[in-house]
Amino acid sequence: MKELQADFTQYILEFKKPSGTSRGVLQKKKSYFIKIWEADNPENYRIGECGLLKGLSIDAVPEYSATLQEVCDNINEYKNNFKSKLEQFPSIVFGLEMALQDFQNEESLHILFPSPFTQGEESIQINGLIWMGTVDFMKEQIKQKLEQNFQCIKLKIGAINFEEELNILKKIREEYSPDVLELRVDANGAFSPEDALEKLKRLSELNLHSIEQPIRQKQWEAMAKLCEQTPLPIALDEELIGVLGKENKQNLLETIKPQYIILKPSLVGGFDASKEWIDLAEMQEIGSWLTSALESNIGLNAIAQWTYQFINEPGKENRKMPQGLGTGKLYTNNFDSPMYLKGENLFFDPQASWDYNLF
């Protein structure tokens, strides 16, 4: 690769509506964008998104901007070994991996992994996400997703009264059987180890697909016991964040033995780090799927393209399930992109153009 130069900028994404999780309500989301270009050809540039989630990202630290500046000032020193040098900064690894991968395809900006998806021929089935809020707000979201013919919806639970959440799920299940509608729930660690199993038993009566992170991360013994006894498949999400190195990843999976793991590339260190998790999990017959982490359409585009390849890897039919990709419609100031949603399927229009002015 030629001599490179780099710069970065910060961008605040504004939510259209406050979005609730068990960790609080989100109104803004901070992202950093890194731009890399050829020193002798500034018009040939690529962009990567370094997205942070407060309370989740291990690299949301005071020296984050200084680290990004160091990387940009010395991009030619970092470009070949950034994954090892920046292990403690998974979102920066993801942004660099995204931008440098984009250079592999010289003809088109933002085409990282050419495929039938980027050619507009095939799509990615996604789940419909139901944010926490009042009962009426959650019911309205569910109604909209069902009208859009989603076959899989995921509800974030744990913020309002459990009995009310259970009642919402019961009413959905009374109207839609498991054959018609797959239901997933995400507790974001809201349950206590003491009451989690009882809640999982009650949820399992509704024929749910799975529950994400029923108790807070870093309680390996309690989570392992829960995964062993649960009547409802458990998917680890936050539990994977900050677990670095192949040996530590393998130790976590062998200790907890979850039914599924969920990968957010910008939180676990990019595509190669996600693949390492997936390969280790599949050796133990643990399923997996991918989700975005509230990135802008720039980051979502990269994750969607990699997800298409993940789903369609030969001999991996078990991966063909709805993925947890966003749709870019959460924000008032997102960027126009070639991606669009038709029903429950995410498409890419190769004739459409991008619209952003970051640098």
User: Catalytic positions, please?
Assistant: 156, 264
> What is residue 109's DSSP assignment?
T
Taking the C-alpha atoms of residue 312 and residue 180, their distance in angstroms, rounded to an integer, is: 24
By C-alpha distance, which of 262, 246, 225 is closest to 56? 262
Secondary structure element (H or E) that encloses residue 48, with its range? strand 41-51
Return d(Cα 259, Cα 70) in angstroms, integer.
Answer: 40
Q: Under a CB-based contact definition with an 8 Å cutoff, are residues 189 and 164 in contact?
A: no
Taking the C-alpha atoms of residue 288 and residue 237, their distance in angstroms, rounded to an integer, is 10
Nearest to 82, CA basis, from 10, 92, 73: 92
Kindly give the residue spans of alpha helices, DSSP state H, lying in 176-296.
196-204, 220-229, 246-256, 265-268, 270-283
Are residues 210 and 182 in contact, defined by beta-carbon separation less than 8 angstroms? no
Contacts for 353 with CB less than 8 Å, ≥ 6 apart: 336, 338
CB atoms within 10 A of CB 174: 9
Whether 18 and 184 have beta carbons less than 8 Å apart is answered as no
